Amino acid sequence: MIRDITLGQFFPGKSLLHRLDPRVKLLWVLVYIILLFLVNTALGFTLYVVITAVLIKLSGIRVKMFFKGMRPIVFLLVFTAVINMFMTAGEPIFKLGFLSVTKEGIRIAVFMALRLMLLVTGTSLLTFTTSPIMLTDAIERILSPFSKIGVPADAIAMMMTIAIRFIPTILEETDKIIKAQKARGADFESGNILARAKAMTPILIPLFISAFRRADELAVAMECRCYHGGEGRTRLKQLKISKIDIESLCFIPVLLILVIFSRQFSLGLM
């Protein structure tokens, strides 16, 4: 159901990953993603899976939560895998009617699926171990040099904080409204696409109204507490780069070298 969405979920903890500076983690995720797209051999993927598994172990978060995060992309996974399998030109292995499965197709399909799964797991590692506040703080700090050329870094960070903060609230609200309308006999499951889209109005209108109302109330509450943008605002928690951050950054070149190295090693076709 709607509650299965793990986006933006954070599991408090004291693991190594929790303690890293969010800016360092952000950089790491960026590197992780870029290098993931450079990986193109079985060796490279094995390497990536092992590293990711170690990181999951280090984070102290149950593996189950990572699989849960994968649920929304199952369709995408299957879809891309099937398309890749059939639509890639190459040496056919077997035929299904006019469609043929090629060796290259299977290879690309498997790699693509792995890539997507690793992508989700990698980003989940960041969001699971970093509180949304820390994350937006990091983004603000990274963007702050650009504020000289007119990028409103603090406003962007505040907007993101608020947006993330309200995801669970809005989900809960949606759940409530769906139940209330169901209790009035609303039917969201039957009918064609047009009828179903129309059936969404009893959910969307109250949802929008309450979202606007909340935004309004929040704005008033913030003004009452003298919020006037980021200028001169100090923080409760200062971000500081510590020894483990430096150490972890040293692994970036190591990963880079390993990935480049793995590209030279294609075992047969794989």
Q: Where on the chain is the footprint of other proteins (CB under 8 A)?
A: 3, 64, 68, 173, 176-177, 179-187, 201-202, 205-206, 209-210
CB 139 within 8 Å of CB 152:
no
Residues near 94 by Cβ (< 8 Å), separated by ≥ 6? 100, 101
Least Å from the CB of residue 58 to other proteins = 22
Closest CA relative to residue 117, chosen from 58, 164, 53:
53
Specify the residue, 4 or 231, whose C-beta has the smaller distance to other proteins: 4
Q: Nearer Cβ to other proteins, position 1 or 224? A: 1
Distance CA 261, CA 252 (A): 14
> Residue 18 Cβ, how far from other proteins at the closest point, in Å?
19
Q: How far is the CB of 172 from other proteins (least distance, A)?
A: 11
- Nearest CA to 15 out of 51, 58, 57 is that of 58
Nearer to other proteins, 113 or 211 (CB): 211
Rg (CA), the chain: 23
Residue 104 or residue 173: which is nearer to other proteins going by CB? 173
CA gap 214, 160 in Å, rounded: 16
Residue 95: other Cβ atoms inside 10 A: 9
Closest separation in Å from C-beta 190 to other proteins:
9
Asked if residues 94 and 102 have their Cβ atoms less than 8 Å apart, the reply is no
Which CB, 91 or 187, lies closer to other proteins? 187
Cα torsion 11, 17, 22, 25: sign: negative
Q: Shortest distance, CB of residue 5 to other proteins, whole angstroms?
A: 13
18 vs 259: CA distance, rounded Å: 26
CB 8, min distance to other proteins, A = 17
Residue closer to other proteins, measured from CB, 209 or 246: 209
